[in-house]
Structure 1
Amino acid sequence: MNAPIALTAARPVTDSVVEVRNLDKIYAGTVQALKDITVDFPRGQLTSLLGPSGCGKTTLLKIIAGLLPASAGEVRVNGKVVSGPGPERAFVFQDFALMPWASVIKNVTFGLEMRGMAKAEREEIARRSIARVGLAGFENRYPHELSGGMRQRVGLARALCVDADVVMMDEPFSAVDEQNRRKFQEELLTLVAQEKKTFIFVTHSIEEAVYVSDRIVLLSPRPGRIAEIIEPDINRDGDTEAIRRHPVYLDTVDAIWYSLKTYLD
């Protein structure tokens, strides 16, 4: 059986914010999660990490975030070696990671408060971030009063609030229904265009990766290696809903499925 199309090969990256070089990760001395990962993440683009379950997508994201140490190799952000979390990186967790006892605005201002920013200034910044994700008017609500989709927006507002160069998102839409997921995907495209930041996005969904991504890093089964890097040739500046009907979108989804299917056979 032949692949439906050839995947679009990635072009060389000329303006990297995040550089990963020869990265390995071994857990408990025996389980190798990642092997010899070398990849760049360009400024102003969204790059998805995609691959079979257990291939190390979230592990790679957490190493870039400084939440996990690498076993070998290194990560550089803006030319500096990552040795732990830093203000130039923000993380949106899959489970929202909100403080249940704190209001929306308290959750969103948490990172700024940790930096020692004055209350009036951090709340002004937070209100702008909250409005950008469509939650204006909910500043004084608590997480238990919000839907799953709204809680996810709070996590995103918190990440935007710290004005990091790199925004990392670990399956951020997996806990919402399909209708909200599509809406969030469309809003994410607008956000990427407006913010001009480097987004790194973990997903299990081929369709989602092709829809939102400038680049897709396809990882092999454990130990995760770079299998392919794909750049879908899709214009996302116009009608974002039309992307799902675009022949390149449909063909790229099919081609990635064919590539992943070889690991499952």
Structure 2
Amino acid sequence: MPAAAAPDGIVEVRGISKTYGGGVEALNNISLTFPEGALTSLLGPSGCGKTTLLKIIAGLVAPTAGEILVKGRRVTGPGPERSFVFQDFALMPWATVLRNAAFGLELRGVARSEREAVAERYIEAVGLKGFEHKYPHELSGGMRQRVGLARALAVNADVVMMDEPFSAVDEQTRRRFQEDLLRLVAQERKTFLFVTHSIEEAVYVSNRIVLLSRRPSRVQRIIEIDLPRDGDPDRIRRHPDYLDTVEDIWQGLRHYVE
């Protein structure tokens, strides 16, 4: 499938390897460039190290070898140019939706009126207007994940990392999230790094897919996605290029499934 040339990379992964205690090798000499302004999905067999690689880029896990550069600067830990949406929401149960969404700005010392104005804008953007003063226990799982996304967007990071953010919701909510994510990617023009186990989801939301091998993980293949993103969302899922790409990726992964 033809695709336009990738933009300049904002994130560079250079020779990253990771070995855990006991000699378990998760990643082996991975080198990648993530283009600015695109959504790139990491896809591969279960346990292949997708989340490990994402957390190394986030500065939450240290690599055994290699280095990460973001905007030309070496990553030595978390930084303001990166934000992370966790699979388990990671919300403060005692804080309202508004405070949770504004928490990253609060940590940066942004004045209350300013940070709440920014948080309110992103709460509305993720479809939670009217829930600003609710607490996490009053929300569904899908709504809590939207709060996590609002918080990640509110800090205005250049790179937004998402670790299987839709895995805990039902299929109907998941599809709605995917459609909302496409809208936010187009609006925000940020760089998104997205981990998923779902081939269909990766093809639907991505500009590029990095296909990883079984552990110790290596880059097996990079797939450029060029699908029509306007119009009826269901039309994308019926598009011949979408169906062919899903099948092509499945054929590349099926021998990893026991």
Same fold (TM over 0.5): yes
CA distance in 1, matches of 2:222, 2:79: 27
- TM-score, with normalisation over the residues of structure 2? 0.97
Aligned equivalent of 1:98 = 91
Q: Does 1:206 align with 2:199?
A: yes
Residue of structure 2 aligned with 1:114, choices 107, 110, 119 = 107
The aligned runs of 1:132-147 (5 Å cut-off) are: 132-147=125-140
Other structure's SS at 1:139 match: coil
Q: Distance in 1 between the 2:234 and 2:185 partners?
A: 16
User: What is the alpha-carbon distance in structure 2 between the residues aligned to residue 46 and residue 242 of structure 1?
Assistant: 20
Aligned ranges 1:188-199 → 2 under 5 Å: 188-199=181-192
Measure how far apart 1:11 and its partner are.
7.0
AA partner of residue 37 (structure 1): I
SS of the residue corresponding to residue 193 of structure 1 reads: helix
Instruction: Report if the CA contact (8 A) 2:97-2:147 is conserved.
Output: yes
**Judging changes above 3 Å, is the alpha-carbon distance between structure 1 residues 12 and 36 closer, same or farther for their aligned structure 2 residues?**
farther
- CA distance in 2 between counterparts of 1:13 and 1:74 reads 22
CA gap of 1:136–1:14, structure 2 versus 1, over 3 A, is: closer
| 1:263 shift after superposition | 2.5
Report Cα offsets for 1:57-114 as digits up to 9, x if no partner. Answer: 0000000000000111111101100000000000000000000011111111111011
Structure 1 portions without partners, runs of 5+: 1-7
Residue 78 of structure 2 corresponds to residue 82 of structure 1: no
2:217 to 217, 224, 227: 224
Match of 1:164 among 157, 160, 169: 157
The 2-side partners of 1:187 and 1:13 are apart by 23
What is the correspondence of 1:22-41 to structure 2 with a 5 Å cutoff?
22-28=15-21, 30-41=23-34
Q: How many pairs were matched up? A: 258
Separation in 1, partners of 2:213, 2:4: 20
Greater shift, 255-264 or 131-140, is seen at 255-264
Q: 1:10 to 1:234 in 2, by over 3 A?
A: closer
Say if 1:11 and 1:36 are closer, same or farther in 2 by CA, change over 3 A: farther
1:241 to 234, 245, 257: 234
* Paired position in structure 2 for 1:3: none
Superposition CA RMSD, Å: 1.3
